[in-house]
């Protein structure tokens, strides 16, 4: 039985790279602490593969043929895609892929009734994969990655309940289909509140962000599924905030566990609230509750 | 203004995706925009909205906001902290009521 040894959620706002240098010191501190902590946790977990769920941002498919989940099966993942380079302001990177595990993921999710699509060719990555790869040193760590780009913005959007179901199936796949003792890391890439392309492009909903970070760190998934509706995320930033659904997939896979946040910050130029959560994969909520 | 007006079949969506995916098409669009626009089945008011950089009108027709933001960057600039900032400000100006921002 394979094991999930790392699980986290973190934003991927492009400004975290291209605009970080000009940000105030307190903002830089939160960004540096968050991603350094996640990088250290990934390294410490000694994971053999990292599966990253992230908003596709309409980067790979036309609106008319838009997959809800698209698995990258390439042997190497190269990014960022040409047009996004100046926008993100980041260096090129290459991350080792895991084609056999990616194929098993495709088969395993299909077997569990989850419609995913998969592509052998290199996917087009924007900030969705590029920012976490660079800020958590995935390229340098040598850990193979499987990107899964998901539909967080093209209606009809798989909602929080559906994404949690996908995550539950993902957890079953990891535990039951992957080789025994394989160590797997999961990252939900996206958020926090933002409205890319909207009339409120500079809007950041600090109250929503702090509520969300507290909620996902609490481990209360019943409340999460009840309250983290598409309507609530749209109100906190249309077309952007709902990429927190990538975190929901990860939460479905790991089940109810407490998490740790590394602080929260807002910076107008990022056009996005910033804060990450690392979930405690050694915690057993059932035992903790029984002990109370 | 969110996704409530989204019209997935809007032809402008394909134009933006193609521009994003092809450096050659971007060059052609910059040099001969009308020739590029001729290749897409744009409604008359849709084409006029593109030509006048009227993002507000395009959103009212059903343009997806995420692609709208990218279209602004394709037109006004795509560099972090430079052209992209101009693009965001132009887009917001249009969407908040100004309409055409050519």
Number of domains present in the structure of chain B: 1
Residue A219 backbone class (left: φ over 0; alpha: ψ -120 to 50; beta: rest): left
Nearest C-alpha neighbor of A168 from the set A41, A230, A256, A283: A256
Cβ contact A18–B73 (<8 Å): no
Tell me the fold of A3-291. Protocatechuate 4,5-dioxygenase; Chain B (3.40.830)
How high is the pLDDT of residue A239?
A: 92
Q: Collect all residues of chain B within an 8 Å Cβ-Cβ radius of residue A22.
A: 81
Q: Collect all residues of chain B within an 8 Å Cβ-Cβ radius of residue A269.
A: 81
Cβ contact B3–A238 (<8 Å): yes
Size of interface A-B (CB pairs under 8 A): 99
Minimum-distance CB partner of A87 among B2, B6, B78: B78
Flag whether B5 is in a domain.
Answer: no
Contact status, residue A2 vs residue A173, Cβ threshold 8 Å = no
User: CB distance from B24 to chain A under 8 Å?
Assistant: no
Cα distance between residue B77 and residue A37, in whole Å: 34
Flag whether B31 is in a domain.
Answer: yes
Question: pLDDT by residue (tens digit) across A75-95?
Answer: 999 999 999 999 999 889 999
Flag whether B57 is in a domain.
Answer: yes
Cα distance between residue A101 and residue A187, in whole Å: 16
Residues of chain A with pLDDT under 50: 292
Minimum-distance CB partner of A154 among B1, B64, B70: B64
- Side by side, the strands of the sheet bearing A145-150 are A117-119, A69-72, A145-150, A49-55, A183-189, A3-10, A277-279, A259-261
Flag whether B3 is in a domain.
Answer: no
Q: How many CB atoms lie within 10 A of CB A212?
A: 28
Nearest C-alpha neighbor of A12 from the set A129, A90, A124: A129
How high is the pLDDT of residue A98?
A: 98
How high is the pLDDT of residue A36?
A: 96
Cβ contact A87–B73 (<8 Å): yes
How high is the pLDDT of residue B48?
A: 98
Contact status, residue A270 vs residue A12, Cβ threshold 8 Å = no
Cβ contact B2–A64 (<8 Å): no
Minimum-distance CB partner of B66 among A64, A153, A234: A153
How high is the pLDDT of residue A292?
A: 47
Domain locations in chain A as residue ranges:
3-291
Residue of B nearest to A86 (CA): B79
Q: Tokens 């800020």 — which residue?
A: A135
Helix (H) or strand (E) holding A76: strand A76-79
Exposure of A59 in the CB half-sphere (CA atoms within 13 A): 25
Minimum-distance CB partner of A89 among B9, B66, B80: B80
Range of the domain at B73: 11-98
Residue of A nearest to B17 (CA): A62
Residue of A nearest to B12 (CA): A63
Contact status, residue A250 vs residue A53, Cβ threshold 8 Å = yes
For residue B34, the distance in angstroms to the closest alpha carbon of chain A comes to 22
Residue of A nearest to B73 (CA): A87
Residue of B nearest to A238 (CA): B2
Cβ contact A153–B1 (<8 Å): no
Contact status, residue A190 vs residue A12, Cβ threshold 8 Å = yes
Question: pLDDT by residue (tens digit) across B59-97?
Answer: 999 999 999 999 999 999 999 888 899 999 999 999 999
How high is the pLDDT of residue A290?
A: 54
Cβ contact A198–B65 (<8 Å): yes
Which residues lie across from A243 on neighbouring strands? none
For residue A83, the distance in angstroms to the closest alpha carbon of chain B comes to 6
Question: pLDDT by residue (tens digit) across A132-177?
Answer: 999 999 988 999 999 999 999 999 999 999 999 999 999 999 999 9
């Amino acid at each position: 039985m394979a094991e999930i040894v790392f699980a986290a959620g973190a934003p991927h706002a492009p400004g975290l790279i291209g605009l970080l240098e000009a940000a105030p010191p307190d903002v830089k501190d939160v960004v540096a602490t968050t991603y350094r902590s996640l990088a250290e946790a990934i390294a410490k977990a000694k994971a053999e593969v990292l599966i990253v769920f992230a908003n596709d941002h309409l980067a790979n498919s036309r609106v008319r043929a838009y997959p809800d989940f698209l698995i990258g099966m390439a042997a190497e993942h190269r990014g960022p895609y040409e047009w996004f380079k100046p926008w993100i302001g980041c260096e090129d990177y290459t991350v080792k892929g895991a084609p056999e595990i990616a194929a098993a993921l495709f088969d395993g999710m299909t077997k569990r009734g989850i419609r995913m699509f998969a592509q052998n060719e290199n996917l087009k990555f924007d900030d969705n994969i590029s920012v976490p790869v660079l800020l958590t040193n995935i390229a340098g760590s040598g850990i193979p990655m499987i990107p899964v780009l998901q539909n967080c913005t093209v209606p009809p959007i798989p909602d929080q309940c559906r994404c949690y179901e996908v995550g539950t199936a993902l957890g079953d796949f990891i535990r039951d289909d992957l080789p025994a003792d394989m160590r797997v890391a999961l990252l939900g890439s996206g958020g926090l509140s933002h409205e890319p392309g909207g009339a409120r492009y500079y809007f950041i909903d600090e109250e929503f962000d702090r509520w969300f970070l507290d909620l996902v760190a609490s481990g209360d998934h019943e409340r999460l599924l009840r309250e983290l509706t598409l309507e609530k995320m749209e109100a906190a930033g249309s077309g952007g905030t709902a990429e927190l659904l990538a975190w929901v997939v990860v939460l479905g896979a790991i089940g109810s566990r407490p998490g740790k946040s590394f602080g929260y910050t807002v910076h107008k130029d990022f056009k996005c609230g910033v804060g990450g959560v690392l979930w405690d994969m050694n915690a057993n909520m059932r035992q903790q509750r029984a002990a109370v | 203004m969110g996704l409530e007006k989204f019209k997935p079949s809007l032809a402008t969506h394909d134009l933006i995706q193609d521009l994003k995916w092809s450096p050659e098409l971007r060059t052609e669009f910059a040099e001969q925009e009308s020739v590029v626009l001729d290749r897409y089945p744009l409604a008359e008011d849709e084409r006029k909205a593109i030509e006048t950089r009227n993002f507000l009108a395009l959103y009212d027709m059903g343009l997806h906001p995420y692609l709208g933001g990218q279209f602004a960057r394709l037109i006004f600039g795509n560099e972090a902290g430079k052209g992209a900032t101009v693009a965001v400000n132009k887009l917001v100006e249009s969407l908040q009521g100004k309409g055409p921002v050519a």
